[in-house]
């Protein structure tokens, strides 16, 4: 009998806030099948818990999320994975409880979709973001559903086409995150926001979020399948597979 794989996503509840912690340092919290499955389950658990008023998604280390698991993508393709990440974004957007993200350090590619899907996103000022897909012959397809809804169009063009690193401070100016604060104030800032959210009445939180996110839900429902198909096609292309294989070789 083989042992079950170690848990990659942890869950705890205190003072009306469910905290979900990504803890897969071996691949920098990449969106592997296991991590996405566990994250999905914990979000649903928080949604069903009558004692939870708000949900915080964070990471155990400085890297919040490095995006798609390229090792899995090169061996298994992205047909199922792309649709699962569309579903993950939709779950965050439609959850009855407000979702907050906190990132101290790096967020890359698909991980930015989680930040964009959240209702409130707080970043350290010197944290780094990058939509790196363009460098690998890919496109920010599935996460464009949420990222391009949040970011102003000029910033979306600059970051999506350039693929370069930008800071938490710039992410706030672009509309991607709610606010950026000095790293030593990040925990206190997020704790204060979550404490405030936890004072909301369940019906008030649920209905307010539904109104706020109506246009975004419609966008996901109209474009989700097309973006998932586009992503899977690009991941399977010779150009992208060659680029991803080279990238993974450089990392070793």
Q: Which long-range contacts (CB under 8 A, 24 or more apart) does 188-193 make?
A: 189/122, 190/56, 190/58, 190/100, 190/102, 190/122, 193/100, 193/120, 193/122
Say whether 133 is catalytic: yes
Tell me the pLDDT tens digit for each residue of 20-74. Answer: 999 999 999 999 999 999 999 999 999 999 999 999 999 999 999 999 888 888 7
Residue 101 phi, psi dihedral angles, 5° rounding: -115, 145
Residue extents of the structural domains in the chain: 9-184
Q: What is the pLDDT of residue 74?
A: 75
SS3 146: helix
Phi/psi for 12 (5° steps) reads -150, 160
Rg (CA), the chain: 17
User: Would you state the CATH architecture of domain 9-184?
Assistant: Alpha-Beta Complex (3.90)
If phi over 0 gives left and psi between -120 and 50 gives alpha, with beta otherwise, what is residue 224? alpha
* 3-class DSSP state of 11: strand
Record the pTM. Answer: 0.95
Tokens representing residue 198 in the block: 């936890």
**Marked catalytic residue, from 44, 72, 125, 133:** 133
d(CA 214, CA 186): 29
Average of per-residue pLDDT values in the chain: 95
| pLDDT confidence tier of residue 251, bands split at 50, 70 and 90 | low
Taking only the tens place, the pLDDT of each residue in 128-173 is 999 999 999 999 999 999 999 999 999 999 999 999 999 999 999 9
For the cut 60, the answer to whether the pLDDT of residue 1 exceeds it is: no
What are the φ/ψ torsions at residue 156 (nearest 5 degrees)?
A: -60, -40
pLDDT tens-place string over residues 86-112: 999 999 999 999 999 999 999 999 999
For 163, list phi and psi in degrees, rounded to 5. 70, 15
How far is Cα 146 from Cα 161, in angstroms, rounded to an integer?
17
């Amino acid at each position: 009998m083989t042992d079950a794989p170690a848990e990659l996503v942890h869950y705890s509840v205190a003072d009306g806030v469910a905290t979900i912690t990504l803890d897969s340092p071996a691949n920098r919290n990449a969106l592997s099948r296991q991590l996405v499955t566990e994250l999905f389950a914990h979000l649903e658990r928080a949604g069903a818990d009558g004692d939870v008023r708000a949900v915080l998604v964070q990471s155990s280390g400085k890297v919040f999320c490095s995006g798609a698991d390229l090792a899995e993508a090169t061996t298994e393709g992205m047909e199922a994975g792309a649709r699962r990440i569309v579903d993950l974004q939709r779950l965050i957007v439609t959850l009855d409880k407000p979702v907050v993200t906190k990132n101290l350090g790096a967020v890359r590619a698909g991980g930015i979709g989680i930040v964009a899907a959240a209702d409130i996103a707080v970043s350290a000022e010197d944290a780094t973001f990058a939509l790196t897909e363009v460098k690998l012959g890919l496109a920010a397809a599935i996460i464009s559903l949420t990222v391009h809804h949040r970011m102003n169009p000029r910033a979306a063009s600059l970051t999506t086409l350039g693929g370069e690193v930008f800071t938490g401070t710039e992410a706030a100016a672009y509309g991607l995150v709610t606010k950026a604060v000095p790293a030593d104030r990040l925990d206190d800032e997020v704790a204060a926001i979550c404490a405030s959210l936890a004072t909301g009445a369940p019906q008030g939180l649920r209905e307010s979020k539904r109104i706020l996110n109506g246009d975004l839900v419609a966008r996901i429902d109209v474009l989700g399948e097309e973006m998932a198909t586009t992503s899977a096609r690009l991941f399977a292309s010779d150009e992208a597979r060659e680029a991803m294989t080279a990238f993974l070789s450089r990392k070793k």
